[in-house]
Structure 1
Amino acid sequence: MLILVTGATGKVGRRFITGLLDEPKFSNARIRALCHNRMIEESDRIEVAKGSIADSAVVAAAMEGVTHVLHLATCKETPDDVMDVTVKGLFWLLEAFRLSPTARQFILIGGDAGIGHFFYRHDGPVTEKTPHRAYPGCYALSKVLEEVMLEQFAIQYGINSCCLRAPWIMEKDDFKFTLSFGDDVFGGPDWKSLVPPADAARYARDGTVPLLRDADGRPLKRNFVHVDDLVSAVLAAIDNPRAVGQLFNIAMDRPVDYGEVAAYLARTRGLGSVDISSEYHSNWMDNSKAKFLLDWRPVYDLEKLIDSAWEYQRSGEEPRIVWYPG
């Protein structure tokens, strides 16, 4: 088994490589990491291919002898790159995969941006049958195009494909910084821009967290997944006959409720909260299909997500780095 991993230096790629190499049933598996801007350390089971997935020759060379592909490489709100990397790159990968005599399975990590997550109202749980609806911006559009392209290649050429659709992926202390009123906020909303500057500075100093409310005035529910749970789903999908041609929602059992977050942090850490109104909509990704077909279960619930983020201690050699905008 030789697995080509794109986006291997990101949070999911690194954790997947560690998880795969540690899993006894994949003891004979090797990794080929396709790296562009950043590199990964090689070993007896890890080799590196260098170049951009937007280059068909690079992709063709990287696919030599590959049995499985885990496609993680993506762009955020970077219009200059998104079509080359996300659309053209995936096209070249799929073309090389379908023509390969060794290729057996193609796994794509999709995203809830493709169904609009909290930008649009959903009348019920978000399932794998929920229609694509990209919110404004190039990133959400790219996630729709990825899923549709993979689906069409399976229809056109009968390739063995699987898409694992993930919401916002957390690791280490990420979740703590999603709630920061400071310049160190991870992702969006940018809380400090929603309150007066003096209040933002005080909230950041005191560790106050936002209690985001949805368009109906209730605490907003938003989907997350921890990287460990996503990786366990990938490992469950590899060579699984029940994953052939399937799309799975891979998310926590319950979405994060900002009211429950505020209450838990007040009870366990004495932190205050402040209401933030919004026009966003609560939503709930249903992960039942993955549980049923992959026999997969997420380990992280709300309390574990919060506790692990607040208890994580970074060393001086591990500064927080956000590798992409948005």
Structure 2
Amino acid sequence: MKLLVTGAAGKVGQAFLPAFLAERRFSDFEVVALCNNRAIETDDRRVTVIRGSMADEQVVARALDGVSHVVHLAAVKESPDLAIDVALKGLYLLLDRFRRSDAGRQFLLLSGDCVVGHIFQGYAAPITEAAPRRAYPGVYALTKVMEEVMLEQFGIQYDLGYTILRAPWIMEKDDFRYAFALDDTQFGGPPWETLVEADDLAKMRNSDVFPAMRDSEGGFLKRNFIHVEDLVRAILLSIDNPAAHGELFNIAMDEPVDYGAVAALMETNGRDRAEIATPFHSNWLDNAKARKVLGWKPSVGLEELVERAWNYRRGENDPRIVWYPG
């Protein structure tokens, strides 16, 4: 068997590949890592690295030669020209060649809760896999919707075996800590400048308070997260799993992160809370289907997410990399 991994040099790819290679169930798999802007370095004989764009038909043909399984992790954020190449043209080329292959068995797509609008769209109940797609503004969310639809339609049209894993904001190392940074080291968004007046923001920065966003109804914002290790385990459980074929799964923490609860943890460390009003919605990405069908459950909850992020110490060879804005 042979696995193709796109986006192998990204945040999820760099966590997934060593975990896959260490899994005894996949010991007879060869791996092709398709990289474009960044390339992985490996001395594992089972891994072949191919450089090139998914929008290049010849590159796609080389990468898919003899491939039985695809884990599609490659993504582009708010860069319309690149996003169209990767998410639409590139995915189409991959799927069209893969569905013609005698070796092809499963195509796994990593999607995101941007497809259902995460904090930009309101839901009266937990968001299940049956919820309609309601992307928030921007090219990234739009292309993720189109990726999911394209893959589902290839499944319908050509009986292509597929699996979609829909993840929220993916955390590793000290990401979660920097999501609350008030200065220009902030990871992700929304930028504080869009929510707080300049003078008030300057005062918050000078007093080193901890930001706690409130949602559109006045309660503390609740947003969904997942640690990259938990996401990788979900991917591993889905690969070559008949129960995962033709299915979409939400892969999220058991409960969304309550920004008030995070602020309360910070208060025990002596930081005052600064409450910030926002127009955003609190939502809950329901992971019940993945727990039941895949036998998966997340291991990193809120307290461990905080502990890992605030205790993480970087070495000289471990620079902070923002893979995408978040």
TM range, smaller chain: over 0.9
Measure the CA separation in 2 of the matches of 1:204 and 1:314: 24
Q: Deviations over 1:227-248 (max 9, x none)?
A: 0000000000011111010000
The equivalent of 1:57 in structure 2 is 58
The 8 Å contact of residues 111 and 148 in structure 2, kept in 1 or not, is answered as: yes
TM-superposed CA distance for 1:160, in Å, is: 0.8
What SS does structure 2 have at the residue aligned with 1:274? strand
TM-superposed CA distance for 1:194, in Å, is: 3.1
The 8 Å contact of residues 108 and 163 in structure 1, kept in 2 or not, is answered as: yes
The 8 Å contact of residues 180 and 191 in structure 1, kept in 2 or not, is answered as: no
Unaligned stretches of 5+ in structure 1? none
Measure the CA separation in 2 of the matches of 1:25 and 1:89: 29
Match status 1:194 vs 2:195: yes
TM-superposed CA distance for 1:205, in Å, is: 5.8
Match status 1:29 vs 2:15: no
The equivalent of 2:108 in structure 1 is 107
The equivalent of 2:179 in structure 1 is 178
Structure 1 pair 206–15 and aligned structure 2 pair: CA distance change class (3 A): farther
Match status 1:238 vs 2:239: yes
The 8 Å contact of residues 182 and 192 in structure 1, kept in 2 or not, is answered as: no
What SS does structure 1 have at the residue aligned with 2:50? strand
Match status 1:279 vs 2:279: yes
When structure 1 is superposed on structure 2, of 25-34 and 236-245 the one drifting more is: 25-34
Measure the CA separation in 2 of the matches of 1:270 and 1:158: 57
The 8 Å contact of residues 212 and 263 in structure 2, kept in 1 or not, is answered as: yes
Amino acid corresponding to residue 221 of structure 2 in structure 1: L
Runs of at least 4 residues of structure 1 off by over 4 A? Answer: 196-199, 204-207
TM-superposed CA distance for 1:30, in Å, is: 2.4
When structure 1 is superposed on structure 2, of 316-325 and 282-291 the one drifting more is: 316-325
Q: Deviations over 1:202-221 (max 9, x none)?
A: 54465432111000010011
Mapping for residues 198-213 of structure 1, pairs under 5 Å: 199-201=200-202, 203-204=204-205, 207-213=208-214
The 8 Å contact of residues 5 and 71 in structure 1, kept in 2 or not, is answered as: yes
Amino acid corresponding to residue 260 of structure 1 in structure 2: A
The equivalent of 2:77 in structure 1 is 76
Amino acid corresponding to residue 109 of structure 1 in structure 2: L
The equivalent of 1:250 in structure 2 is 251
Amino acid corresponding to residue 86 of structure 1 in structure 2: A
Q: Deviations over 1:133-191 (max 9, x none)?
A: 11111111011001100110000000110000000100000000000101010010112
TM-superposed CA distance for 1:193, in Å, is: 4.7
Structure 1 pair 71–104 and aligned structure 2 pair: CA distance change class (3 A): same
Measure the CA separation in 2 of the matches of 1:192 and 1:315: 31
The 8 Å contact of residues 35 and 49 in structure 2, kept in 1 or not, is answered as: yes
TM-score, with length taken from structure 1:
0.96
The equivalent of 1:156 in structure 2 is 157
TM-score, with length taken from structure 2:
0.96
Measure the CA separation in 1 of the matches of 2:204 and 2:39: 38
RMSD, aligned α-carbons: 1.4
Q: Deviations over 1:18-71 (max 9, x none)?
A: 111121222222221101111111321211011100112211110001111000
The 8 Å contact of residues 187 and 325 in structure 2, kept in 1 or not, is answered as: no
What SS does structure 2 have at the residue aligned with 1:38? coil
The 8 Å contact of residues 35 and 48 in structure 1, kept in 2 or not, is answered as: yes
TM-superposed CA distance for 1:192, in Å, is: 4.5
Measure the CA separation in 1 of the matches of 2:302 and 2:203: 26
Structure 1 pair 9–202 and aligned structure 2 pair: CA distance change class (3 A): farther
Structure 1 pair 154–274 and aligned structure 2 pair: CA distance change class (3 A): same
What SS does structure 2 have at the residue aligned with 1:21? helix
Match status 1:18 vs 2:18: yes
Measure the CA separation in 2 of the matches of 1:227 and 1:159: 27
Quote the sequence identity (%): 54
Measure the CA separation in 2 of the matches of 1:191 and 1:240: 43
The equivalent of 1:40 in structure 2 is 40
The 8 Å contact of residues 115 and 132 in structure 1, kept in 2 or not, is answered as: yes
The equivalent of 2:293 in structure 1 is 293
Measure the CA separation in 2 of the matches of 1:239 and 1:207: 49
The 8 Å contact of residues 36 and 52 in structure 1, kept in 2 or not, is answered as: yes
The 8 Å contact of residues 181 and 192 in structure 1, kept in 2 or not, is answered as: no
Measure the CA separation in 1 of the matches of 2:275 and 2:18: 40
The 8 Å contact of residues 3 and 68 in structure 1, kept in 2 or not, is answered as: yes
Measure the CA separation in 2 of the matches of 1:79 and 1:228: 29
The equivalent of 2:168 in structure 1 is 167
Structure 1 pair 34–111 and aligned structure 2 pair: CA distance change class (3 A): same
The 8 Å contact of residues 191 and 210 in structure 1, kept in 2 or not, is answered as: no
